[in-house]
Structure 1
């Protein structure tokens, strides 16, 4: 059974409830920084949704032109690939924000809440470490591919690595917030025991 973790910013005692959990954070929050964060995440979600719609349109053009018209449109393959990569890396951050990353929890379900929390922290630390390594690699590749363009569209491959880095930096920030929140929750729970 898969238990979704609470959305980032939701107290650890609450369970994930989809959009309502995040909406309650943004509505219940006071102050300009929290409202700005809400607008930022809405913008990221809109960008990802538009990338998904654009990818579907491009793939439809590709399939329709190839099979219905018998001609190939060369730019559709690379364009759909670039859009898909943007969706993956932006989507990873959005999924972390909603506590909706796919996880296999067969063994975790057998553990007590206290032990499970520590395994959740360990998982977040490992995920953040891997994401940091990928971000470093993405920045290195941005430098190497700065003057290399895709073969069918006038887009530098550095932009592709930039999207990866941006998505993963957002993911890392959310992971670090989740780790800090889990430690605060673990400290409160441990002191009560």
Structure 2
């Protein structure tokens, strides 16, 4: 069962990698349009700045999910360095850190749902879209983060057996 879950998360992450690439290109092109129009014409394109900021929100949360799966997230390794923990103690420390991280991410999801609900009726100034659209990146990214943390935990458990 764990192998199927890990495989499914890895497939989801491949799609997420493509999405992050597309979003990065969109952000880059939006910034280029903004710079070119501002410096070479007398026109103003106000939506480009807002679009870049909103795309960055999605890139941060989606990138965090991918980083978690690749074990590229910052974690407390100083305890192992200072106390020279045994492999068993190190594994227990990793499980504790994972549990604390998961609680934090779940709390973030719950809090973000309140923000989305509050901002749903408000419209952004330049793009004229609901503020809920950029804010929905938070729970989506956090759920992806939880899925990847769980995949890592299951994979780590399989390796230690």
TM-score for the superposition, normalised by structure 2? 0.82
Contact 1:125 1:179 in 2 (8 A): no
1:43 aligns with 2:15: yes
- 1:60 is aligned to 2:32: yes
Q: CA deviation at 1:115?
A: 2.4
Greater relative contact order (Cα 8 A, min sep 6): structure 1 or 2?
2
Check conservation: 1:121, 1:182, Cα contact below 8 A.
Answer: no
- Segments of 5+ residues of structure 2 without an aligned counterpart are none
Q: 1:58 touches 1:76 (CA, 8 Å); kept in 2?
A: yes
**What secondary structure, in the 3-state scheme, does the structure 1 residue paired with 2:143 have?**
helix
Q: How many Å apart are 1:118 and its aligned residue?
A: 2.2
Work out the number of aligned pairs and report it: 158
Show the counterpart of 1:95.
67
In structure 1, how many angstroms separate the alpha carbons of the residues matched to 2:16 and 2:73?
17
Match of 1:114 in 2: 88
Which one of 111, 115, 135 corresponds to residue 161 of structure 1?
Answer: 135
Q: Normalization by structure 1: what TM-score?
A: 0.70
| 2:111 matches 1:129 | no
Q: Specify the SS of the correspondent of 2:137.
A: helix
Q: 161-170 vs 33-42, which deviates more?
A: 33-42
Q: Structure 1 pair 100/34, CA: closer, same or farther in 2 (3 Å)?
A: closer
Q: Which runs of 4+ in 1 moved over 6 A?
A: none
Within 2, Cα distance between the matches of 1:48 and 1:181? Answer: 24
